[in-house]
Chains A and B, each alone.
Chain A
């Protein structure tokens, strides 16, 4: 390992850095960003990431449409967002420069692969003149490296073909950036050897490229000084760096273990939810059954069938898929069976922006079924919080025998952050009580089993096939209260609608008190939900450090809303609701509590930045 500290003592310490890696879809920028992140995580920094990639697997090379980027924010203190303007931009080609330069902070650092700045690529990106030569980058600190050529050179001696060698140029970039930010090199070298085990030529090429990039930093007389970010202060514990979809999948497995019933996942591949199918399919040793169904409808249908059989039925999708599942969700509401439906929200409507984030499915989750069909809705705040949210969704589904919609989004799904690992034995149990005996007397005074007799939670018995003497028939047709027999009686229907409504509202009785953070004597409260948590946290932190008073509530149970929320909101003069939609939660709060909730909306396929929110909060509270 190269001990850079000894060679180059002039390292400047900073509290945090935001680096954005950008290149063509084929340049391996997601991987480069991910490796840089992992090295930083293992080093002990706090961090948050934002991968952004086009929907096309390989958009035309060198075009603006094909630019793939990965932003990572590393810090020596607690951070909650992937950061606003990057301090450093790595550009592997002119298109990346064209697309990403406007984000860079003024005076920021640009790292350029000069080999890609040829006439053809410049034209594809829409440059008339090479920006490296026309003085347009004068205000920035520019580090240029012929990454492709240097990578080819170091690979030549290894007997790697130039074409294959070129693919390793992202490791050159990684090596250079690792040097620039004083990252330990061991984790990346170790990872290369593990990832490409058995492919010695690839290992050799990637290692050589990485080391060449690192050495380039040391030997070239770079204008930019090296930076270092100290490890952050974390609570004691074991940490891992995790993305939302992995945390969510693990949350499901944890809940299944704590409930003692196996997971059945029905899923149809859809971005950005497919990774949940991939992750769960890996863990069959937990008794997980996964079905890649023929369509979204079959996916939820099979999950519901498994729930009927006493398994933990789960289906994972994104917005267009949730639309297709609406009818089966109605059946699940009517059957009153546990079911977890995960919606990793993405830009809509229709195909919309498959790889970009949005949070505009809240109304669909609330009302996207025909008839009066209420069901609980849970949402996640951050990548690691997806674990808690999944566990909570299962808890509610099992206890209250109801389908639950769990809302995450594309940003949480792929973004990562350090997570202090829970200990399995400390997680609460989720009691499952399958029915085993008769629960009613018929007209003749005989003990019988009726499927729609209710407990104190108004939940009906979960009587699974195979249980002696509890044979019964249920379906989507309205049922008679108690017996569950088909009933077209008008009064019975009214009663069943009211019971279904009330039993879901009772879920709120199981929530802990709502937490109001910040200044309880503030005039304004920020009410958020979902992935806006990070940006709101950061923005109100800036306000409070500047002496501006503000309070905040972040909702994780979106239906039923907490029982104490109305009183809390009415204590504040101003209620501000930032959302990645056109004001869906705001509308609900207005309808439920008659409060004058004010929206801050952003529907651009990108999360809010803390700076945007900070500015808006200040304007709206002054």
Chain B
């Protein structure tokens, strides 16, 4: 494929048979991605999908790009090495809530704080699918599963709050029922320099069907999804009748009529202080309440690989490119004749 070639969805589709359960939300995410790729103007050979283990982690096999299906939880670490070594590549990381927030939680937060140039897609279905239905670190308290017959006791992670707490420079949320929204958010994440993380509400129709239905089914969206639009007041509802205010640092949902439009919080995704983004993320502590979607934050911060490359360039400018003989003679030496 040459630089100028125009690609289609087919060019980005591998020859492998897709093996997710029929009806899985992953299909629509895959389609959104394969349709988006030709629009990004990137090349297939410069694109790498890295994944861990889980249903979501099969994603790379279906993209006609370079792909590395690694081991459980480790994809952010492996992708960190790849992205640091090869800044010319587009490195995507795909994983589920167990992969990214349980076994790989440590790698995720460190990739985010370092601001490695990665686009991380976290498919959150609030359940373990590939191991057949145990509760996950994002499952709601009281979740009855095979491993928690009397209900789970653990407080779940809110992935957006975790990412913000980990100093992520780009944090967004989308869902598998809205291809256009997914594509827009994925595009933004891709174009961000540094670590971008997108939480995708994804339905597991076998083990946790309808987990997000109250938010994402067509007739509910206007009532339940709060679109975050940069420089716009945060409001939602079929007629924009509800909105979000900041009340002593806490985000609250209000009636626009009662408080007036001027009182609404105006979203600033570029705010370097992430505390407002964090407050917004706390609005959605359960999946039955109105939930902000879109870009929580998009902050410009030193990209890690670029920082490393700058240090290498500075070292070479200072000392010249490495000279092996000079290195070998860099400690005190003596001659024997």
Contact = CB atoms under 8 A, between A and B. Distances in A.
Interface of A: 38, 41-42, 44, 187, 234-242, 246, 250, 253-254, 257, 262, 264, 266, 283-289, 291, 293-295, 297-298, 301-311, 313, 327-328, 330-331, 335, 420-424, 427, 464-477, 485-486
Interface string B10-49: 0000101000000000000000000000000000111110
Given A235-B336, A424-B324, A471 B64 contact: yes
19 contacts: A240-B331, A240-B334, A242-B331, A246-B331, A253-B324, A284-B312, A284-B315, A285-B315, A287-B312, A287-B316, A291-B80, A301-B70, A301-B77, A305-B68, A305-B79, A305-B81, A421-B333, A465-B82, A472-B66
Contacts of A472: 66-67
Chain B interface size, as a band, is 35 or more
A236 B335 CA distance: 7
A442 B123 CA distance: 34
Given A421-B328, A471-B44, 14 more contacts: A240-B328, A240-B331, A242-B331, A257-B322, A264-B84, A283-B322, A291-B84, A297-B107, A304-B78, A305-B83, A306-B85, A308-B82, A466-B46, A473-B67
Contacts of A287: 312, 316, 321-322
Nearest to A286: B322
B65 interface: yes
Nearest to A305: B81
A303 B80 CA distance: 9
A287 B84 CA distance: 12
B336 A309 contact: no
B147 interface: no
Nearest to B82: A305
Contact of B327 (A253, A307, A330): A253
Contact of B332 (A42, A257, A467): A42
A242 B331 CA distance: 8
A334 to B, nearest CB: 9
B218 interface: no
Contacts of A264: 81, 84-85
A223 to B, nearest CB: 33
What 8 A-B pairs have minimum CB-CB distances, sorted nearest first? Answer: A475-B69, A305-B81, A286-B322, A302-B81, A301-B77, A473-B67, A298-B77, A305-B82
Contacts of B45: 465-471
Given A302-B80, A471-B66, A237 B336 contact: yes
A491 B251 CA distance: 60
A476 B71 CA distance: 7
Contacts of B61: 473, 475, 486
A42 B82 CA distance: 44
A340 to B, nearest CB: 13
B74 interface: yes
Contact of A475 (B47, B68, B329): B68
Which of A242, A250, A286 gathers most chain B CB within 10 Å?
Answer: A286
A238 B335 contact: yes
B150 interface: no
A483 to B, nearest CB: 10
B50 interface: yes
B65 A471 contact: yes
Nearest to B83: A305
Interface in B61-106: 61, 63-71, 74, 77-86, 88-89, 106
A40 B64 CA distance: 63
Given A305-B78, A466-B88, A471-B66, A295 B106 contact: yes
B275 interface: no
A465 B63 CA distance: 14
B219 interface: no
B74 A301 contact: yes
A298 B329 CA distance: 34
Contacts of A291: 80-81, 84
Nearest to A290: B308
B281 to A, nearest CB: 23
Contact of B336 (A187, A236, A254): A236
Nearest to A416: B331
B69 A238 contact: no
A473 B328 CA distance: 41
A253 B322 contact: yes
Contacts of A313: 81
A466 B66 CA distance: 8
B68 A308 contact: yes
B16 A485 contact: yes
A44 B312 contact: no
A421 B80 contact: no
A317 to B, nearest CB: 15
Contact of A310 (B60, B86, B314, B324): B86
